[in-house]
Structure 1
Amino acid sequence: MDMSNGTDPRMDLLMTILDDTELQVIANFYARRYWYGVIVVIGLTALLNMAVRLRSRSRMRSAAASRVKQATPPRCCGRMLDAITSAFRKLIYPQISPTRHSNLLKVPPLGIIVLLFIYLAFVLTLEFVNQDIPGDQHRQAIGVRAGWLTITQLPLLILLSGKVNIIGLITGVGYERLNVLHRWVARTMLLTATLHMGYQQALWNSLGLLQLEWNTDTCPPTGIKAYAFLLWLNLSTLAPIRNLWYEFFVIQHILTFFGLIICIMLHLPSTALFSRIYVWIPIGIYLFERTLRTLRYAYNNLRPGRATLIQLNGGVTKVIVSTRQLKNWSPGSFVLLSLPRFGLGQSHPATVASIPSSHEGKLVFILRAHRGFTSRIHANESTISLHGGSASSESPQDSKSTHLVLIDGPYGGTQLDFASYNSVLLIAGSTGVTFTLPVLLDLAWRAEKQKPAVKHVTFIWAVKTSACTSWIDSELKHAGGELQKAGIELGVRIFVTADEEFAEVDEGKPSSAEACHCEKGNEECSCISPFPKLPPDTKSNPLAEQVKTQERTNEAVEETPRLELPYYASRCSVTTIQSGRPDLKGIIKEAQGKADGEIGVAVCGPVELTAETRRVVAGLEGKGGSIYLHAESFGW
């Protein structure tokens, strides 16, 4: 090798391979094609969202004009639209996810899986199509295009992550549902970054130029740092790590992202500085979203609310928040709730179990005590204990028993209007009732004001013990009364799944209001004591004397056998209770048979409940009335 001229032939070869004058033009072409595809998908989804919501409003207008007949589209178009909708729902609804250790692994619904495979195929097609650069630069071309596709996805990654979400606003999908797409875009970025690094490293190594490139170019060291940040971002979002300590996860996630951005900016070569536009855009999006969210947070807490904590059966705390700032939210919305006394800087996602027109405009939350924040508020000495009682928003409040509360939100509540469906089925497991209850309250409130399209409402609630039924007893009674006044049929079915004492009482006896022995003309059923039976130690319970007085009164007037249920509060005559788990297929099929048109199903609870509901609805879709399903599951 003649090096008399002072140059290293290997350097000349390396410079020839690294010459991306043509490669970056081609790569940028496919980067733009990527965004054309993304914009088309978002646009079509937005149009579909607009169409279904307009159809929902059309049904509501028709119902307001006449309850006899619902508005339907023209016969031919209607049949075609219904057929397409039914086929689409059968595809996207099913979900098969592990029922054990669901906090470690949760498989998304089939519709999300199909969308993710389409996205992956789209990106890989853009990566490998028309890769016809000859010679040694062939692998370099593949690597360069992979690098461009990696940073091209950055704006979409940030668009999918924000709580004040532009994509969610135009598509009608809450940010919490877009989060799974956010994580998989990041994983696709990791894949393309691996291709970018792998093809180039393999090429340099095969030509004996690997060491020379690392010694003379700043791109490999900065690139490996960016890759390390991207790898950790993906590893830390895995459920076991993410759920270990969520507050720490959020902080380190943001800091790691900042590190990734800095390393990418340092990594981009001087010959392609215009590629930084794909970095500056997400920075601008992030700052814009954080500004909007901060302004709303400041407004919500300009006059901070006060929270009253009420301890209920089943390790649950009812949090009643009185605030003068937040007065409007949609049924099923949630907020990020912060009580600084129980965790400075910590916020907990909590679904609002009330609507603006109920509970005197207060926000009501039902939180089960786990570890951390929820266990601290449940065990606090200032928490009012109403074990066995029905806690309402009218509980006494004073400065000594209330706590400062900060609210970020509301978010969610993006489901279609259930008042536009002929029949509505609300299914909840445990504290998942915080989603279905406000939907029921909203239907009841609107039934007073207007004529909704809904004619049948079925409320299904699965709880571990009968004591849990006291959480929402007064709300169910109120909603039942309003719906009955409006001529809407309501059925409340409560399933007690793990109460041995209840099962013993229930064995061989009817466990429904149909079995009551009181006079049918009474305003409310008296077969079940209006005050629940309490545990033996009731000395410190403020309701104990009231309960004893009520029990003595009941004993004096009781002339027929009574059905006593442990820790069970009174409820209206439309309620039935039974031990065991609900037969979802039978329940949904029965609701489908009652309906004259499309039915709306909402489910919220553990993954096993929502996954089974999804599978049942997908199986019944097209075998009767069409079924709209909105599912919410525990976790994030």
Structure 2
Amino acid sequence: MSGMAMPPTNAQLAQIYWIFAGGAIVIATIVNIGDKLIHRQRIAAASKSEPNPARPKNALIKVWAAITALTRELSQATIHAPIPKYPQLNLPPLGRILLIGTNISLLLSIAFWKFNLKSWRTWEDIAVRCGHMTLTQLPLVFLMAGKRNIVGALTGTSYERLNWIHRWVARCMFITASCHMGFFLKSWGRYHYIRKKFELDIISRQGLGAWCVLLWIILSTFAPIRNIRYEFFVVQHVISYIGFTTIVMIHVPKDMKQWVWVPVGIYLTDRVVRTLYLVYNNISLFHKRKADAAAGLFCCRATFTALPDRATLVSIPKPTFKWKPGQHVFLHCPSITPLQSHPFTITTLPSDNKLEFVIRAHQGGTRRLFRHANESLPPVASKAVLVDGPYGRMRALEQFDTVVLVAGSTGATFTMPLLRDLVRRSCEGKIAARKVKFVWVVKNKGQVEWFAKGLKEAVEAVTGLQEGLVVEASVYITCDTTLTMDREGGSNASSISSAGASIEKPVLCGGDRCCCTDTVQEDEKAGTSTSSTSLPVPRNTCTCGMPGFDPANEVVTSIQAALSLPESVNIKTGRPALRALINKELEQARGEAAVVVCGPVGLKGVVRREVTGLCDERAVCKGSGADGVYLHVEGFGW
């Protein structure tokens, strides 16, 4: 008997789980390091004027590219299964399903290993082990929740991209917690002892209380509940987790309390680091040279300007920190939105020496900001604000041969600084990119004014250059009876109009529909478009808020003139044929390409499916020789 190997204890099995979890983090860290090395290699090749710097040259990089392409295709693939009442409801990408499925399978395999589920003698042992596996996941839940995230720093992943892992690991923890309680109840039920057990045993009551709090946490994290009132969700979520952790700390035996203290330490560390950054970035004492003399205690002061289509431009001069294009901050204005802090994408570059945000008014704090800007024309005295950030990570786009930027409405707050940064780097000669395709889909003509100046400067900066970055920009205006401009009048009305007209709805041009919702495809010649439908296209394709709006007549020219947009910026009515547009750019790429999308859920889903489908058709990872495609889908909302 002494020579027989002892089975692993529950504590050892918990360590086995963390070997797998830690191994996944290590692999992601290695991939991040490899991506950074490839970035350096490509930029160095571009600085030496080597041909096609974004194309793999040696065998090792080709193998890396093939593995990366295969992983991307599998992880980004989606199953489109729309429900009639919820057309935007789709299954998550395959990569997320596989990752969470693997985690659940691993947990349940460890929890039930070596146990006979049919034998009542093992039920309480199973319950105890499931309790161990529940506690084992608690540190991972907190690791994935922090804004200043060490896992994100190692893997090059932004906190909001780890947040879904945070939610799903918590749901997996609820499954094992339910097994923990369920098998105890099943064992006690054999003797009709459940009620008496809860009456006599305080530990059992503590466990039931912890399970109920965890159930509420899980239910409240689903989007329909979470989005009802986000500020309330955040407060109750923190309070609920504090309550859950406290009950668990009391419930578990002494030799397992380290599994609770570690998450507490992770949470406190994140809060302390965030607080230090917040204090340093916002208190004038640390930035006497940059702080305005009238700034007082807080060195960040903002002005608010009303823009067309219920948008607000928030401008903060002399920022106290650096950031990268595409990053965001949490903005808090105590005098306008007390006790509220919302994430907004930075639309400027560090070289502009100012922070700017374009914020569309919806409900709550964003509506208050717009109301303040609308009632303060012209802009009055600035307001003190607190800035928490910057946050957000993505692969550097200057390393790709071709970059396709797709934005819907305020999604341009993310893609516009990326475009401007690529143009800036091209002028400095620090770029491997050869071409950028900028696509912006807006609901009405007023939204074009938000970034007309930045778009004009970006296009003109590379116009006429014999060598360097090529920039193609297209703006698609879509409208129907619910998406038209100029419905509310006042300062929200667009400054662009035809004969000063303002209408309630677009003039229908196809009987009962507006042709601005048709899909149009770009011709080889710039500035032209063709409808993808077989229906006859009338002379006036769509009003889009202006009588007589026709993409082929002088009205488009008048819009470009009003916004000082170059003629090379194509303004079209309708929706872009994304598959044909992206495929064209990928076919012409001379190396790895990047597709970046930010906007509504529907737009992101379409781009994700089209890019995945095109990679499969082009057999990127199957030895066809086609170059890989990096896809970045930026979150839009909470």
TM range (shorter): 0.7 to 0.9
Counterpart position of 1:407: 387
What amino acid is the match of 1:316?
A: A
Whether contact under 8 Å (2:54, 2:400) holds in the other structure is: no
In the superposition, relative to structure 1, how do residues 318 and 598 fare at CA in structure 2: closer, same or farther (>3 Å)?
A: same
Q: Deviations over 1:348-391 (max 9, x none)?
A: 11011111013xx1111111110111111112266566xxxxxx
- 1:56 Cα offset (Å): 1.7
Q: Deviations over 1:503-552 (max 9, x none)?
A: 97999x99999579xxxxxxxxxxxxxxxx9999xxxxxxxxxxxxxxxx
User: 2: distance between equivalents of 1:297 and 1:80?
Assistant: 43
Instruction: Say if 1:248 and 1:441 are closer, same or farther in 2 by CA, change over 3 A.
Output: same
Q: Distance in 2 between matches of 1:510 and 1:35?
A: 51
The 3-state SS of whatever aligns with 1:603 is strand
Paired letter, 2:181:
M
Match for residue 419 of structure 2? Answer: 440
For the 8 Å contact 1:467–1:566, the answer to whether it is kept is no
1:322 counterpart = 2:322: no
Q: What secondary structure, in the 3-state scheme, does the structure 1 residue paired with 2:313 have?
A: strand
User: 3-state SS of the aligned residue for 2:348?
Assistant: coil
Match of 2:160 among 159, 176, 180: 176
Q: Partner residue of 1:378?
A: 370
Partner of 1:80: 63
1:313 equivalent to 2:319? Answer no
1:481 matched to 2:463:
no
Q: After the TM superposition, which residues 522-537 of structure 1 pair with which residues of structure 2 at under 5 Å, given as runs?
A: none
Alignment of 1:124-143 (within 5 A): 124-131=108-115, 136-143=120-127
How far apart are the structure 1 equivalents of 2:84 and 2:315?
33
In the TM superposition, what are the counterparts of 1:187-586 in structure 2 within 5 Å? Answer: 187-268=171-252, 272-303=253-284, 304-326=299-321, 328-358=322-352, 361-380=353-372, 400-412=380-392, 414-484=393-463, 485=465, 487-498=468-479, 563=556, 565=558, 569-586=563-580
Give the alignment's TM-score, normalised by structure 2: 0.81
* RMSD (Å) for aligned C-alpha atoms: 3.1
Taking structure 1 as the reference length, the TM-score comes to 0.81
Aligned to 2:595: 601
| CA deviation profile, 1:208-235 (whole Å, cap 9, x unmatched) | 4334433432211111111111111111
1:478 deviates by: 1.2
Task: Choose which of 621, 627, 630 in structure 1 pairs with 2:629.
Answer: 627
Q: Once the 2 structures are TM-superposed, how far is the Cα of residue 112 of structure 1 from its aligned partner?
A: 1.1
Tell me how far apart the structure 2 counterparts of residues 217 and 431 of structure 1 sit (CA, whole Å): 56
1:596 is aligned with what amino acid?
A: R
Matched-pair identity in %: 35
SS in 2 for 1:153: helix
Contact 1:99 1:607 in 2 (8 A): no
Deviations 1:264-316 (A, max 9, x none): 12211xxx411000000111111111000000011111133111111111111
Contact 1:490 1:574 in 2 (8 A): no
| Aligned 8 A contact 2:604 2:633 in 1 | yes
Write the letter of the residue equivalent to 1:487: G
SS state of the match for residue 459, structure 1? strand
Paired residues for 1:15-26 under 5 Å: 26=9
Cα deviation, residue 561, structure 1: 6.3
State the match for 1:53 in structure 2: 36
Contact 1:502 1:566 in 2 (8 A): no
Displacement of 1:340 in angstroms is 1.3
Query: Given that residues 310 and 383 in structure 1 are in contact (C-alpha distance below 8 angstroms), is that contact kept between their aligned partners in structure 2?
Result: no
Counterparts of 1:246 and 1:104, CA distance in 2: 21
Task: Tell me the amino acid that sits aligned with residue 459 of structure 2.
Answer: G
Aligned to 1:29, which of 2, 7, 12? 12
Shift of 1:594: 1.5
Supply the distance in 2 between the matched residues of 1:588 and 1:215 (Cα, whole angstroms).
Answer: 65
Structure 2 CA distance for aligned equivalents of residues 145 and 501 of structure 1: 64
Relative distance call for 1:104 and 1:70 in structure 2 (3 A) is closer
Distance, in Å, in 1 between the alignment partners of 2:577 and 2:85 is 23
Q: Aligned partners of 2:527 and 2:110: how far apart in 1?
A: 66
- 1:309 touches 1:383 (CA, 8 Å); kept in 2? no
CA contact (8 A) 1:334 1:351 kept: yes
* Letter of the 2:33 counterpart: M
In 2, the alpha carbon distance for the partners of 1:493 and 1:69 equals 26
Matched residue count: 555
Q: Distance in 1 between matches of 2:71 and 2:8?
A: 39
SS at match of 2:567: coil
Deviation at 1:632, TM superposition (A): 1.0
Alignment partners' CA distance in 1, 2:407 and 2:633: 10
Shift of 1:608: 0.7
What are the superposed Cα offsets for residues 385-418 of structure 1, whole Å, 9 maximum, x if unpaired? 6xxxxxxxxxx86xx3322111111100x11111
1:122 aligned onto 2:106: yes
78-87 vs 33-42, which deviates more? 78-87
Query: What letter matches 1:365 in structure 2?
Result: F
Q: 8 Å contact 1:64–1:452 — kept in the other structure? A: yes
Paired position in structure 1 for 2:533: none
Bigger-Rg structure (1/2)? 1
Q: How many angstroms apart in 2 are the aligned matches of 1:198 and 1:435? A: 47
* Partner Cα distance (2:313, 2:86) in 1: 26
Distance 1:38 1:165 in 2: 16
Counterpart pick for 1:149 among 133, 136, 139: 133
Which of residues 89, 92, 96 is equivalent to 1:112? 96
1:626 deviates by 1.5
Structure 1 CA distance for aligned equivalents of residues 346 and 141 of structure 2? 29
Moved more, 69-78 or 368-377: 69-78
Q: Confirm or deny: 8 A CA contact 2:332 2:387 kept in the other structure.
A: yes
Do the aligned partners of 2:521 and 2:581 also contact (CA within 8 Å) in 1?
A: no
The residue type paired with residue 353 of structure 1 is T
- Specify whether residues 134 and 583 from structure 1 end up closer, same or farther in structure 2 by C-alpha distance, changes over 3 A only: closer
Between the aligned partners of 1:310 and 1:100, the Cα distance in structure 2 is: 40
Quote the Cα distance in structure 2 between the aligned partners of 1:447 and 1:354: 17
| Equivalence for 1:529 | none
1:593, distance to aligned residue in structure 2 (A): 1.5
- For residues 373 and 441 of structure 2, what CA distance do their matches in structure 1 show? 30
CA distance in 2, matches of 1:405, 1:100: 44
* Contact 2:55–2:590 under 8 Å retained in 1: no
1:177-211 deviations in Å (ceiling 9; x for gaps): 11111111111111111100000111011034334
- Relative to structure 1, the CA distance from residue 569 to residue 324 in structure 2 (aligned partners, 3 Å threshold; closer, same or farther) is closer
Q: How many Å separate the matches in 1 of 2:425 and 2:314?
A: 25
Q: 1:74, 1:54 → 2: CA distance?
A: 14
List runs of 5+ in structure 2 lacking aligned partners.
1-5, 285-298, 485-504, 529-543, 548-552, 619-625
Give the corresponding residue for 2:72. 89
Give the aligned partner of residue 590 of structure 1.
584
Distance 2:77 2:434 in 1: 27
